[in-house]
Chains A and B, each alone.
Chain A
Amino acid sequence: MTSAPSMFSSSPVLESGPDNDQLLRVSLGPQHPSTHGVFRMNVVLDGETVVSLKPVFGYLHRNHEKIAENVTYLSSMPYTDRLDYICPLSNNWAYAHAVEKLAGIEVPERAQYMRVILAELTRLINHTAFAGFILGDMGAWGSALMYAFREREKILDLFEDLTGARMMANFMRFGGCRNDLPAGWAARVGVLVEQYGPFLDEMEKFLVGNEILLSRTQDVGALPKDALINGGITGPMLRAAGVNYDIRKVEPYGIYDRFEFRIPLGEHGDCYDRIMIRFLEMRESLQILRQALAQLPDGPFIHPKAKIRNFKPPVGEAYGRIEGPKGELGFHLISDGSTNPYRYRVRPPSFINLTLIEDMCLGLDLADVVVILGSVDIVLGEVDR
């Protein structure tokens, strides 16, 4: 690197000229707690009102996709943990799902159930942490996040006992999972599931009718349904606007067609609906967990013929996607028949959900930008890849 990047060099605070001397240009981020990582927005303000907002990406760019092209298929599995590092197990599953599509690999029953349990626990982690973060964005520094992280910690303990790592799980394999559940693990998940409902009751009681939360989030950041679909928005953001589109129902991957659960939908699509939809989704996740734990069969945790070494999928391509906690998480793989993918593409939900961030913020106050960005729920490991 020889020259200073221009995205650092422009005047960060004030830019005035003859025709726009009333406008204030603010660089929000990249080192700012409300941007959820190293993300920057160039905001132009007229008084307090946003008249332009341009996101700046790339501070955490490490060309994940290029790295994956230079290693074997399995070698990318631990790296997927580092995409959305709040939800490593969902990322594992999305990647394994795409490779299984590419190579036509079967997954045994028990592994399917294990994957559902882990993915729904991950959804609990993500949505709980989200609730804590967005309260922090609104000024409730610390306390809400500590309640959320207290619960997250319990799930991370379970992950640690199963995978050996709290966050960087590297657990799924093509055709199953890496190891079986330790003794008593499923029972501990059962206890956690039963305790989680009361925690959600408590958290909701603090939030739903809170006057500050209502005034900061209601009617903030809503867009019409069509605009959201056209902008590629997926996940809770889209469903908060009332679009019934959840990949677990639309294209049931794994064994999601065996469980009874509902898809919560919002009405207004504002930030309030986006928060509440996540609470409702957690309740449905608990339902799925109860059913999965009750039905969990015995058997192999990985397909006995799954190839670990010298794995070469047949020539061709596959796009596999799952309903990640943040939206549609997809992997597009092109195989030329060798041990490394010819092309490895991540379809990152947080990155694409930012497409409409300017549209959502225009005409609102600067303080609303922080809440709207919080409601999109981004993780920079995935945005910049």
Chain B
Amino acid sequence: MSDPIEAILTRLREALPGVAIALRTNPSPSAQHSLLVDAARIADVCRFLRDTPALDYDLLSNVTGVDWPDGTKADVVAVPAAGEGSAAAGGFLEVLYHLYSTSRRVGPLVLRARTADRSQNVTIASVVAVFRSAEFQEREIFDLYGVQFSGHPDLRRILMWDEFEDHPMRKDYVAPDDYEYEPTPHDAVLEKAKLHYPCSE
């Protein structure tokens, strides 16, 4: 059982007039449609959904990070309404939230927030103050995708070690390999090494 998403969209637009919220249709048979929310205001939207008694979305079950190096691909998965602006073709990082109500037994309500790009402007408001369950999950997305969650109380790497520098879940991540330890590096190994040091010829 899920609430009709159009009704929630209307409600949110009435209650939070300054926040950009748009419907995204899911073409899959699951028909789990989602709301694309302004990344800076996602926590306010979550707080409204949690604290409005008629909605009472009290369980933030899952937080997923996604990397979209090609932003147009995101529009195919989460289709914008006709006439709405399409996603930035330059690519961005996206975070999805699956909310449920334990008292009303409905869900999932899917929210999504997007960063402006994949390098400089990668900030999304943290929802930890509203839902504690996001604490480790946001840390994981920070660790593996590099999303900066503003307002997170303890934003550190969680699965990788602290000195690690890259974000391994990104689509363009190149995994390290053991070529440095090869006693006599040759053909295939040297070929792979070029991925890491493209200018070292």
Contact = CB atoms under 8 A, between A and B. Distances in A.
Interface stretch (B3-11, B22-30, B187-195): B22-30
A3 B163 contact: yes
A101 B30 contact: yes
Contacts of A303: none
B105 interface: yes
A355 B58 contact: no
Contacts of A226: 58
Interface residues of A, number: 54
B123 interface: no
A164 interface: no
Contacts of B105: 245, 250-251
B160 to A, nearest CB: 6
Interface stretch (A120-128, A146-154, A260-268, A315-323): A315-323
Given A103-B29, A334-B66, A342-B77, A328 B163 contact: no
Interface in B119-173: 131-137, 144, 158-163, 168-169
Interface in B53-99: 58-62, 64, 66, 73, 76-78, 96, 98
In this complex, the member of B78, B105, B132 whose beta carbon has the largest number of chain A beta carbons within 10 angstroms is B132
Secondary structure type dominating chain B contacts: loop
A243 B102 CA distance: 8
A317 B163 contact: no
A347 B59 CA distance: 14
Given A319-B110, A347-B62, A232 B76 contact: no
A66 B132 CA distance: 26
Contact of A245 (B28, B62, B102, B135): B102
Contact of B77 (A58, A103, A230, A334): A334
A336 B162 CA distance: 33
Contacts of A328: 61
A57 B159 contact: yes
Nearest to B102: A245
Contacts of B73: 336, 342
Contacts of A57: 136, 158-159
Given A229-B102, A321-B61, A345-B62, 13 more contacts: A63-B169, A230-B131, A232-B60, A245-B102, A251-B105, A314-B27, A317-B30, A317-B32, A318-B29, A318-B32, A319-B62, A336-B73, A342-B66
Interface of B: 1, 26-30, 32, 58-62, 64, 66, 73, 76-78, 96, 98, 102, 105, 107-108, 110, 131-137, 144, 158-163, 168-169, 176
The 9 closest A-B pairs by CB, nearest first: A316-B28, A232-B133, A104-B29, A5-B161, A318-B30, A58-B159, A347-B62, A231-B132, A61-B159
